[in-house]
Structure 1
Amino acid sequence: MDENNTLIERLKANDETAYQQLFEIYFKRLHHFAERMVFDTEVAHDLVQDVFISLYENNRKLSAQSNLSAWLFVSVRNSCLKYLRDRKVEDRRNLLYVEATLNSESIEWIDDEELLKKIYLAIENLPDKCRQIAKMRFIKEMKFSEIASELSISENTAKVQVHRAISKIKEQLAADSALFVLFSAYVEYFLE
């Protein structure tokens, strides 16, 4: 029996230490994930806590085939999207893009020309080196090692530039909350 199955069995048996272990392993990551979607630390904390409560209340529904990590992240994502829906994010159509993009790995998936223009414009407004690396990472979907090799820089430098690009792009998109959420969810894939 693998570690995941053992933990599931312990959760189903209401083993308090299993819940503590799961909480210690996942809470910070889930909170960080939620905070990037709802942009509010306290709300993110509450949403993640609610997911753990839901797991506790519905532990009998878990099966040996359940992937706890996937279940937790999907549950938090769904809770965040519900929170955003309930708060009536300005443009309903943009919220639908956010939901779909969470499952996408490419900026090209976004088929709304106006949204893409805003993201591309934000990238174009970056400083030269930062813009070049952002295009390589976000548009060409190059790995950090490939960027580093092509530009004769360290992988670490490429990562730092991508993080700077993300921060600067978010600053530029901050006025459009739905687009900001969309971009924030999208870049998650590119930080790995």
Structure 2
Amino acid sequence: MLVHALIKGNKKAFETVYIDYFDMLFHLALGFIGEHETAHGLVQDTFAKLWECRKELHIKTNLRNYLYTITKNACLNHLRQQEIILRNNRDYLIPEVRYRQEALQSFGDPYSELESLIEKVDEAIDRLPENVRTTFKLNRFESLSYQQIADKLELSPKTVEARISKALKILRKDLKDYLPAVQAVLGFLGL
């Protein structure tokens, strides 16, 4: 429904998409580019492109994967342009640029890669103790504040805070082997 509203030019839908996905895309771009300003600019370009081309959107999987692909391609194009500039100046190609470009190219099919990472995050969340998982999901997926969760579950806000902290600690530990690839998903979840 959000995509349909976006296609129709609904600015509130666009703002929602921007708020929901900016951090995830920024962390993805930062992981590949390594420069805050450049990564920020590439993600801004992603959203500008989304708005400009909204009427022609044909999303085959979901909006998250679509934005991931646009951002990944923008990063790859940026790294290619850096390489061309360095070659035209007859400088030696900075090894880090080559490394980032190869890493980005070998990242695989963006849809299956991201779906696989999301599955791993979902599985890790499902392994959380039930009370911790419930609290975490209310905060991260339903965007409830600690106070709202405390009221809903009849807990103190400090208990809610402790459970969220415990969830984050467990998730970081469970997902450490998948970093930095899972960085984008963790950024989206605010971990």
Give the TM-score normalised by the residue count of structure 2.
0.51
Given that 2:29 and 2:43 are in contact with CA atoms closer than 8 Å, whether structure 1 keeps it comes out as yes
The size of the alignment, in residue pairs, is 119
Measure the CA separation in 1 of the matches of 2:98 and 2:59: 38
Query: Per the alignment, do residues 10 and 37 of structure 1 end up closer, same or farther by CA in structure 2, a change over 3 Å counting?
Result: same
Partner secondary structure for residue 14 of structure 1: coil
RMSD of equivalent CA atoms = 3.4
Q: Does residue 58 of structure 1 match 2:53?
A: yes
Query: Per the alignment, do residues 98 and 34 of structure 1 end up closer, same or farther by CA in structure 2, a change over 3 Å counting?
Result: same
Query: Per the alignment, do residues 50 and 101 of structure 1 end up closer, same or farther by CA in structure 2, a change over 3 Å counting?
Result: same
Given that 2:32 and 2:75 are in contact with CA atoms closer than 8 Å, whether structure 1 keeps it comes out as yes
Give the letter for the 2:52 counterpart: E
Q: Which of the residues 99, 103, 109 maps onto 2:104?
A: 99
Given that 1:12 and 1:60 are in contact with CA atoms closer than 8 Å, whether structure 2 keeps it comes out as yes
Q: Does residue 188 of structure 1 match 2:175?
A: no
Q: Which of the residues 71, 79, 94 maps onto 1:90?
A: 94
**Structure 1 residue 158, shift from structure 2 partner:** 9.4
**Structure 1 residue 31, shift from structure 2 partner:** 0.7
Q: Does residue 36 of structure 1 match 2:31?
A: yes
Give the letter for the 1:22 counterpart: V
Higher normalized contact order (CA 8 Å, seq sep 6+, divided by chain length)? 2
Give the letter for the 2:180 counterpart: V
Measure the CA separation in 1 of the matches of 2:98 and 2:42: 23
Give the letter for the 2:81 counterpart: D
Measure the CA separation in 2 of the matches of 1:103 and 1:60: 28
Structure 1 gaps, min length 5 = 1-5, 105-142, 145-154, 167-184
Measure the CA separation in 1 of the matches of 2:10 and 2:67: 18
Q: Which runs of 4+ in 1 moved over 2 A?
A: 63-66, 89-97, 155-163, 189-192
Given that 2:42 and 2:74 are in contact with CA atoms closer than 8 Å, whether structure 1 keeps it comes out as yes
Q: Does residue 71 of structure 1 match 2:71?
A: no
**Structure 1 residue 187, shift from structure 2 partner:** 3.3
Match of 1:16 in 2: 11
Partner secondary structure for residue 29 of structure 1: helix
Given that 1:8 and 1:63 are in contact with CA atoms closer than 8 Å, whether structure 2 keeps it comes out as no
Give the letter for the 1:12 counterpart: I
Given that 2:30 and 2:36 are in contact with CA atoms closer than 8 Å, whether structure 1 keeps it comes out as yes
Measure the CA separation in 2 of the matches of 1:66 and 1:60: 17
**Structure 1 residue 33, shift from structure 2 partner:** 1.1
Given that 2:42 and 2:71 are in contact with CA atoms closer than 8 Å, whether structure 1 keeps it comes out as yes
Give the letter for the 1:90 counterpart: I
Query: Per the alignment, do residues 81 and 21 of structure 1 end up closer, same or farther by CA in structure 2, a change over 3 Å counting?
Result: same
